[in-house]
Amino acid sequence: MSGRPGIAAAGPGSVPAVSLPLERFTLASGARLLVTPRPGAPVCAIRLHLRGGPSLDPAGREGTAYLTGALVDQGTRSHDERALASLLEPAGGEVSGDATGLRGSIVSSQWRLLVGVMAELVREPVFPAADVRVQHARLLHRLAVERDDPRRQGGIRFRRLVYGDHWIGRPAYGTLESVARIEPRHLRAHHRKHWVAKRATIAVCGDVDPQAVRRAFSRALSGWEPGRPLPRREEPMPRPAVRTDVFSATREQVHLYLGHLGIRRRDPDYAALVVMDHILGTGPGFTNRIARRLRDELGLAYTVNASIHSSAGILPGLFTAYIGTSPENVGVAVEGFLREIRRIQDEPVTADELEVARSYLLGSFSMGFDRASRRASFLVSREIHGLPDDVLERLPREFAAVGPEDIQRVARAHLRPDACCVCAAGPVSRPALRKVLTAG
């Protein structure tokens, strides 16, 4: 065994095994509690996830869920923002929020303090108007800056091409117009309606006793409004097709996005697609094909990548290929992307490529679980996606078992070079982009 609890070292011919001991509880309020003890761990991390997020934003006030989470730490009925900070900082504690809940960390010996603070933020935030106005103004400033940022706007428009009017295609932060309409009363109403126990999954990782954690949360969250579970709903998404958009900007560089609808995390081809991605567009250095061709051989850019697995979620993610390049090279870049996509569909990958990808994935796999915060986030992800408890033991074996025929099969099944959306941000015209894509 290695010195890291729960991680077995891989010997010759073996694969790494990551095992997170887990105890599950359902609190009286209806919240789910997941605890993975880690004896000797210096840090305790807590992730409190609430289902819904930006999907619950009211029409015209997109960004409400994000602001609610981001500003929930501005004060409670018992402590203002400074008092909360004075509680946490001496113990090395911190808490932050977003559209899907809270995350926090603290020295393991003070985990009860963190439980109390997070429970207070969940149950009794006040969203003080003066503090909210300050943070609200900062977000508006950020959105104003990003409105003129070609890379940011290119990414937003690309998502809209793929997802259409579906909520997942909208910026989680909202827009200048929608955020300007959000007032403290809207945040309080959102919190009251949607931050309820039956939509919550809480994960804890640290040097803790699971039963003690259960008792602490049971006390701290006593009386939390149970609410109702959030029903799953499937909203239609646009069918894959060639669609283009341009964000015109006078710059020396073009930010180019190419891709289409991707996969859900529970897709049975997930492991093979992770390996495929490392060969095609995410492997380190010059080991992946797209970087080697577009960056090394053609010299089109330094930043270039492509991936389908990294955004997979409960809803389908994206297959996204990105490059920042000069305007005169847009056509070459599009052709290069499409060429490599078709090549991985038409030709078996080499034994060397497969070995490099699998070795990298297996060698780096366990390192991703060194941090308590990563373990807590993983427990939440595993729970909300309905993945098997032994997924961390299965996944390395699945990586190791992927062969050339698997790569070719999943590339043909999930990549659509003839039905790609393309968005360019920079000095490019829409007719020129369409012409480039047709030629590709």
Eight-class DSSP state of 56:
G
Average pLDDT in the chain: 92
Helix axes 430-439, 330-346, angle to 10 degrees: 30
Q: For 194-232, what is each residue's pLDDT tens digit? A: 999 999 999 999 999 999 999 999 999 999 999 999 988
Angle at 362 between CA 356 and CA 368, to 5 degrees: 125
Query: Is the pLDDT reported for residue 285 higher than 90?
Result: no
Nearest to 221 by CA among 99, 48, 22: 48
Percent of the chain exceeding pLDDT 70 equals 96
Q: Is 438 helix (H, G, I), strand (E, B) or coil?
A: helix
CATH dotted code for 21-220 = 3.30.830.10
Nearest to 439 by CA among 249, 295, 431: 431
The span from the CA of 318 to the CA of 237, in Å, is: 12
Radius of gyration of the chain measured on its C-alpha atoms:
23
Query: For the domain with range 243-439, which CATH number is right: 3.30.565.10, 3.40.50.300, 3.30.830.10, 3.40.718.10?
Result: 3.30.830.10
Which uninterrupted H or E stretch holds 410? helix 404-414
Q: Kindly report whether the global pTM for this prediction surpasses the value 0.85.
A: yes
Q: What is the mean pLDDT of residues 243-249?
A: 94
Q: How crowded is residue 319: how many other Cβ atoms within 10 Å of its Cβ?
A: 29
pLDDT given for residue 13 in this prediction: 53
Q: How crowded is residue 100: how many other Cβ atoms within 10 Å of its Cβ?
A: 20
pLDDT band at 440 (very low <50, low <70, confident <90, very high): low
Q: How many residues does the chain have?
A: 440
| Half-sphere CA count of 371, side-chain side, radius 13 A | 10
Q: For 359-407, what is each residue's pLDDT tens digit? A: 999 988 888 788 999 999 999 999 999 999 999 999 999 999 999 999 9
Percent of the chain exceeding pLDDT 90 equals 85
Where do the CATH 3.30.830.10 domains begin and end in the chain? 21-220, 243-439
